[in-house]
């Protein structure tokens, strides 16, 4: 089953991350928008939620929500 | 029964103020307070050695309660930043500076943020096995010796401090049960290389968030307790973000998770006893969980019972 942007948004909220939903949906670069701690928290939540591994070198390729969604769907 | 009778600490008078680094590191006050959680960190003087910090923690202990120095028969120092190059062991230097008798067992334990939990278990077991009656456990790991002040990952976090815990047959708290874990394959995540501390922040966050809560839960389950049976959870003070994450994952009432990060920072193996000392005279606090985690990677949790 494929996921959409809304699942990622929900996960970010569940993690307690404060963010502009509008900017996220406009594909802002999350590594610039979030601080390093929130970014680490989000990546761990993605890994745990979708049972995937996100290596450090992959982060720059999935730094916006569209790329993140595509990456997760490609793994499931 | 050997257990913890008293705890004292030494906090150096020098300070390093994180507010002066906001611009250099491109961070704001909100991030500093709500994520890092450290405003200023104590810093030892350049000439002050690890053993000196232990001696000052002992002097604070002797002011707090009468310590019969002649009766001390065991001292342990937990540190990975010893005097000089670590030879001789710090505990021997402390033994000499305190002018203790020859018939004293003295050894060091090389562990970081899990060190206090490990060392408590080691010293109590060692004392019981060898019929020793009065021991001193010191923690002193001044990371200022290895911090690169230009490294945003580490220079905002770590503070210098030392603690002294008196172990005796007249305890306030005793260890009920402990759990110890190691993940050596990830040792490079927090490492001192070429004399400088390097930390992979994401790896350390993942490790803390995923390894510590199951250990705490498993230990409580194995002991027949629920989270509600514990009065206070003293977690290693890694950062405010880590503490908040652990509280959230364990579903703990934040009131049960004390913190002293704001003005001491992460003091490595001293972070747990620095907080624990505040509960030694609190007779309402019966059952405490202490949990340390960090370099190794290593994590350890104990349940302490008030006697």
Q: What residues of chain A lie within 8 A of the CB of B206, using their CB? A: 40, 44
Q: Tokens at residue A57, please?
A: 């070198």
H/E element holding B119? helix B115-129
The C-alpha atoms of residue B127 and residue B222 are separated, in whole angstroms, by 25
Tell me what the mean pLDDT of segment A38-49 comes to. Answer: 95
Tell me what the mean pLDDT of segment B136-159 comes to. Answer: 95
Q: What is the pLDDT of residue B124?
A: 98
Q: Taking a contact as any Cβ pair under 8 Å apart, which residues of chain B between 240 and 299 contact chain A?
A: 241, 244-245, 248
Question: Which of A16, A43, A48 is facing B202, going by the closest CB pair?
Answer: A43
- DSSP, res B21: G
pLDDT of B227 above 90: yes
Query: With an 8 Å Cβ cutoff, is B126 touching chain A?
Result: no
pLDDT band at A19 (very low <50, low <70, confident <90, very high): confident
The C-alpha atoms of residue B288 and residue B19 are separated, in whole angstroms, by 34
Tell me what the mean pLDDT of segment B189-201 comes to. Answer: 95
Q: What whole-number percentage of chain B has pLDDT above 90? A: 99
pLDDT of A13 above 80: yes
Percentage helix, strand, coil, to 5, in chain B?
40, 25, 30
Q: What is the pLDDT of residue A24?
A: 86
The C-alpha atoms of residue B135 and residue B170 are separated, in whole angstroms, by 12
Tell me what the mean pLDDT of segment B205-228 comes to. Answer: 97
Query: With an 8 Å Cβ cutoff, is B206 touching chain A?
Result: yes
- What is residue B244's three-state secondary structure? helix
Q: Strands, E, within chain B: which ranges? A: 3-10, 14-17, 40-43, 74-78, 105-109, 134-140, 162-168, 173-182, 190-193, 196-199, 232-235, 287-294, 298-306
Tell me what the mean pLDDT of segment B160-171 comes to. Answer: 98
**Shortest Cα–Cα distance, A22 to chain B (Å):** 22
């Amino acid at each position: 089953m494929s996921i959409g942007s809304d699942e990622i948004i929900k996960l970010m909220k569940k993690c307690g991350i404060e963010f502009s939903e509008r900017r996220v949906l406009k594909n802002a670069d999350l590594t610039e928008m979030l601080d390093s701690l929130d970014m680490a928290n989000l990546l761990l939540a993605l890994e745990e939620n979708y049972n995937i591994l996100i290596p450090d070198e992959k982060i720059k390729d999935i730094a916006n929500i569209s790329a993140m969604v595509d990456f997760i769907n490609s793994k499931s | 029964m050997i257990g913890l009778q008293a705890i004292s600490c030494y906090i150096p008078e020098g300070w390093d103020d994180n507010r002066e680094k906001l611009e250099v590191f491109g961070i704001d006050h909100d991030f500093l307070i709500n994520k890092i959680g450290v405003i200023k960190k104590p810093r030892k003087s350049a000439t002050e050695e690890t053993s000196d910090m232990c001696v000052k923690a002992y002097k604070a202990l002797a002011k707090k309660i009468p310590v019969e120095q002649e009766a001390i028969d065991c001292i342990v120092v937990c540190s990975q930043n010893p005097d000089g190059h670590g030879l001789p062991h710090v505990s021997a230097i402390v033994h000499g500076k305190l002018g203790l008798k020859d018939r004293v067992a003295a050894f060091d334990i090389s562990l970081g943020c899990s060190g206090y939990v490990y060392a408590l278990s080691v010293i109590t077991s060692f004392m019981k096995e060898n019929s020793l009656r009065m021991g001193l456990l010191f923690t002193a790991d001044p990371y200022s010796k290895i911090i690169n002040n230009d490294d945003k990952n580490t220079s905002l976090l770590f503070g210098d401090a030392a603690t002294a815990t008196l172990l005796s047959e007249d305890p306030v708290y005793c260890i009920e049960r402990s759990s110890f874990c190691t993940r050596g394959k990830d040792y490079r995540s927090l490492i001192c290389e070429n004399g400088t501390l390097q930390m992979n922040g994401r790896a350390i966050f993942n490790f803390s968030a995923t390894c510590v809560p199951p250990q705490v839960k498993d230990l409580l389950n194995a002991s027949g307790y629920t989270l509600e049976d514990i009065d206070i959870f003293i977690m290693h003070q890694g950062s405010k973000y880590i503490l908040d994450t652990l509280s959230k994952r364990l579903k703990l009432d934040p009131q049960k998770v004390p913190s002293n990060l704001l003005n001491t920072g992460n003091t490595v193996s001293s972070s747990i006893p620095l907080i624990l000392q505040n509960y030694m005279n609190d007779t309402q606090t019966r059952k405490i969980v202490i949990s340390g985690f960090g370099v190794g990677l290593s994590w350890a949790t104990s349940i302490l019972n008030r006697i």
